[in-house]
Amino acid sequence: MSGVSLDLPPSGPQPDGAELVRVLSYNIRSQRDDRRALARVIRACEPDLVCVQESPRYWRPEGQAAWLARNTGTVILSGGGRTAAGPLLLGRLGVTVLSRHDLLLPKHRGWHARGFASSVVRLGRARPFALTSCHLSFIGPERAQQFELLHAQAAIRELSVIAGDFNEHPEDPGWTALAERYQDGWAVKPWGGEYTSRPGDPLQRLDAVFASPGIEVLACGVPPLPVAELLAATDHLPVVAVLRVPAGATA
């Protein structure tokens, strides 16, 4: 996808020790579509951190996660397969993982297993923060319970970022409650497109990046990438957020 410019602030260290971090959230439908197009979309977003939903869970999950990391210039940080049942965290070289906190969620009989992929990460001299990728249930009561568990999961650090496919709209109760505690990136600093489902004819916002109040949101939305590539890659649109994480105590 040569020649594509997202017109976003470049990520990297700031003079005061803070770090600009580019986070990508993306539901990849178990890599059942054009995997090469998927990799091209991810690379075009130039993420520091990737919060994946619907990473393959049942057929060679570790190998398929490794393929995605290898072909996007990232490494596996946490999640995927048996530990998180779909959510996966990837990151560029240089991201430090301080701890991992993947969690398998309670499930209804006959429905998909779900979980959270979570790690505490640090980039440069910035403060460490918790990063969680999630894909919540279609079932209302089950999803409500998962929203509550998500609050506890993110609270492992004072600073946290939550990204995923919430299977809910911004006006719905779980999303509204989350937005009362965390910044909804699109609502705070909208950039690019708003709707994340479906490619080619987006009509709803199901996917988002949230950040705790101590992190500054500089931009968040669906990147303006070629529609043909987005259609080929998966059935959701990617969400990119640029976040300013404050300097650590020793910076």
Please give the average per-residue pLDDT across 88-99, as a whole number.
97
Q: pLDDT tens, 182-235? A: 999 999 999 999 999 999 999 999 999 999 999 999 999 999 999 999 999 999
Q: pLDDT tens, 156-179? A: 999 999 999 999 999 999 999 999
Q: pLDDT tens, 68-79? A: 999 999 999 999
b/e map of 117-150 (b: 16 or more CB within 10 Å)? Answer: bbbbbbbbbbbbbbbbbbbbbeeeebbbbbbebb
**Is residue 88 scored above 90 in pLDDT?**
yes
Question: Is 5 inside a domain boundary?
Answer: no
Question: Is 28 inside a domain boundary?
Answer: yes
Question: Is 233 inside a domain boundary?
Answer: yes
- pLDDT attached to residue 251: 38
The DSSP string of 200-238 is TS--B--EEEEE-TTSEEEEEEB----HHHHHHH-SS--
* Element of type H or E holding 179: helix 173-181
Question: Is 4 inside a domain boundary?
Answer: no
Q: pLDDT tens, 4-31? A: 789 999 999 999 999 999 999 999 999 9
Enter the pTM of the model: 0.97
- The domain that holds 38 is classified in CATH as 3.60.10.10
Q: What is the DSSP letter of 246?
A: P
Positive or negative CA dihedral for 29, 239, 171, 158?
positive
* Overall domain count for the chain: 1
**Is residue 245 scored above 90 in pLDDT?**
yes
Question: Is 7 inside a domain boundary?
Answer: no
* Burial class for 170, CB neighbours closer than 10 Å (0-12, 13-18, 19+): middle
CB 122 within 8 A of CB 18: no
Question: Is 6 inside a domain boundary?
Answer: no
Cα–Cα distance for residue pair 15/13, rounded to 1 Å: 7
Positive or negative CA dihedral for 91, 62, 68, 156?
negative
Question: Is 2 inside a domain boundary?
Answer: no
Q: pLDDT tens, 117-155? A: 999 999 999 999 999 999 999 999 999 999 999 999 999
Q: When comparing pLDDT for 162 and 62, which is higher?
A: 162
Name, in order, each residue with C-beta under 8 angstroms of 214's C-beta and a sequence gap of 6 or more: 127, 158, 159, 246
Range of the domain at 25: 13-245
